[in-house]
Amino acid sequence: MGFWTLFEVASMPILQVLLISMLGAFMATDYCKILSPDTRRSLNKLVFVAFTPSLIFANLAETVTLQDIISWWFMPVNIGITFLVGGIVGWIVIKILRPKPHLEGLIIATCSSGNLGNLLLIVVPAICNEDGSPFGNGNVCSTVGLSYASFSMALGGFYIWTITYQMMKTSAVKFKALEAAEQVVSKEANNKLDATAQTQLLIKAEQQQQVPLAVATTNKSIEDPENQLLGAELESSSPNTYQKEKASWVKVVHQILEELMAPPTLGAVTGNLGFLPPDPLFRYVLMLQFSLPPAMNIGTMAQLFDVGQEECSVLFLWTYLAAALALTAWSTVFMWILT
């Protein structure tokens, strides 16, 4: 089967997911006002509590026997390898970027914990139902593929709510410790104001002398209009602002590179070791587990512990945008290897 035919087969499920996502995003905008914030929260709870567990156990009960689970012994090992390799890559990223302590657990979690359920439940059956699918009969492939994806989701949930949960919990503890330390420092600084009126005037005079150059230039712009442009340039080119923006983008780029290159390469090698079941669809699912974007449950944990929610949103936005291309490319490569 030709490479471009496989590329077309691999790209169709991703395009379908993108179209549905765009439709959902449009329905959630203020212009459409169909999916309000309360509605979205209710739908998320329904999917998380009712729909997803029902889908998992219904698919497992329909087609999976104890003998099948024993023959799939390598899948939990494979998921453990993804967590190990992703955790090592995340640790390297932390050593290079040196983020804030309370963000270290979030970065390692996003590198190690893949979306082992939701995307597989969508992508695998959709590929089976394509006309050029290399996995044989569409109905049989779709049923077996759902079983593989459901088993992967059940195992992934166990790993995520044990390993990843502890990472996010540790980040929350560090974040609360930092907040407590900042409050102590602010209280000590405020104690200096407990003095006479003359001392307070001296302190205010000293603070006024330490006003940044950008603010002073902006205040003088009323007298001199030519200083307006200079003040804007100084304010926008502040070293602290530039460093923060640069650090944020570097984190995103490292995360995207980790999603694009490192784990999928190991997955391609692991699938050809020779001791896996002969079913090519099973090998395809094992390989695909290495190329998935971060698990959505990380966002739930960030909201639960109230730590790194903004950073988590930024990482999820860019990694899932990159995954739209990376998942298509690696899916094509994996099917080409297996055929």
- Please give the Cα distance from 112 to 106 (Å, whole number): 10
Structural Rg of the chain based on CA atoms: 26
Task: Yes or no: say if 142 and 129 are a contact pair by the CB < 8 Å rule.
Answer: yes
- Please give the Cα distance from 317 to 43 (Å, whole number): 20
Average pLDDT over residues 151-158: 87
Position 251 scores a pLDDT of 54
Structure-block tokens of residue 211: 């006003």
Position 235 scores a pLDDT of 44
Task: Tell me the pTM.
Answer: 0.70
- Please give the Cα distance from 259 to 243 (Å, whole number): 24
Structure-block tokens of residue 103: 């963000």
Task: Yes or no: say if 336 and 132 are a contact pair by the CB < 8 Å rule.
Answer: no
Q: What percent of the chain has pLDDT over 70?
A: 73
pLDDT tier at 318 (50, 70, 90 boundaries)? confident
pLDDT per residue as tens digits for the range 181-235: 777 766 555 455 454 544 444 444 445 444 444 444 444 444 444 444 334 433 4
Residue 74 buriedness (CB in 10 A; 0-12 / 13-18 / 19+)? middle
